Amino acid sequence: MALHTITNAMTVDVEDYFQVSAFAPHIDRASWDRRECRVERNVARILDMLAAQNSKATFFTLGWIAQRYPALVRSIVDAGHELASHGYGHERASDLTEAAFLEDVQSAKRLLEDISGVEVKGYRAPSFSIGEGNLWAFDCLLRAGYRYSSSVYPIRHDHYGMPDSPRHAYHVRPGLLEVPITTLRVLNRNFPSSGGGYFRLLPYPLSRWMLSRVNSTEGQSGIFYFHPWEIDAQQPRIAGIGSKTRFRHYVNIGRMERRLQQLLKDFRWGRMDHIFLAPAAQATPLAAAAH
């Protein structure tokens, strides 16, 4: 039984194991087509898990994946979930010029819409790579026709993060909502409480408590995220990676599916667009920190 009546947003970043940003120095992008792609079977398992709990989610999907597996895209939409954009080729926004980023988000949106027949309203930057140094990315998203972004993680991290940005949904530009990844504020510091490697690393009761606190004490919907490869303990291992990267990627992968099943039971889950773009949804005014 769900712990709270608040509906949280379940989100899936649809990419495969060889497309992870931390593996980029070890995997040539040109080799992607030659590698075993496991995303179809993993997304099918995720769709089954969601259906078992009558839960809906948002799937931030790479254009690269959609182009090669259009049936996967249609299966997401046919099951009643939201299709959103993760860009085309999982290039970090912070590594692109403004013109290249605009082309990436435009082409991904067009491709996803052509395949699915539905409007793509949301975008999430690979590795949460919109920060203080590339706030122009929000202007590009607005020009490309997106209505919301979920690209900012308000924590300190060695690869991403904007710890001083607002913690809950806010209008980063007129007509564009930023829905940051969920954190819990404790002792003047933001703690990650929204999925990814932290969810695999931390004991499940702690993750559940943090999301519950955001719901109960702040009255806010949380945003949880994970990747299809995180439920795939049999994925090929990447050789030559550092110990920190290896730990972050593989820690507790064998326990992830069971934890997700419990999470789906313990909270109410829905789509990003239904939660944050609905007429009744409230967001803070345009944030000075985002200019």
% the chain with pLDDT above 70 = 92
pLDDT for res 157: 55
User: Among residues 9, 69, 1, 41, which one has the least CA distance to residue 194?
Assistant: 9
The model's pTM is 0.92
Rounded Cα distance, 243 and 36, in Å: 23
Supply 31's token pair: 């080799």
CATH architecture of 7-290: Alpha-Beta Barrel (3.20)
Are 169 and 284 a contacting pair, CB within 8 Å? yes
What pLDDT sits at residue 291? 36
Two structure tokens written together for 222: 């949380």
Q: Which of 233, 150, 196 is nearest to 21 (CA)?
A: 196
> For 154-195, how does the pLDDT look when each residue is reduced to its tens digit (9 = 90+)?
876 555 557 777 889 999 999 999 999 999 888 778 887 788
Q: What is the pLDDT of residue 151?
A: 96
Q: Out of 162-171, 250-259, 264-273, 274-283, pick the least confident.
A: 274-283
Classify 284 as helix, strand or coil.
Answer: strand
From residue 21, alpha-carbon distances to 4, 127, 232, 234 in Å are: 35, 7, 18, 20
| Digit-coded pLDDT (tens) for 53-76 | 999 999 999 999 999 999 999 999
pLDDT bucket at 289, cuts 50 / 70 / 90: very low
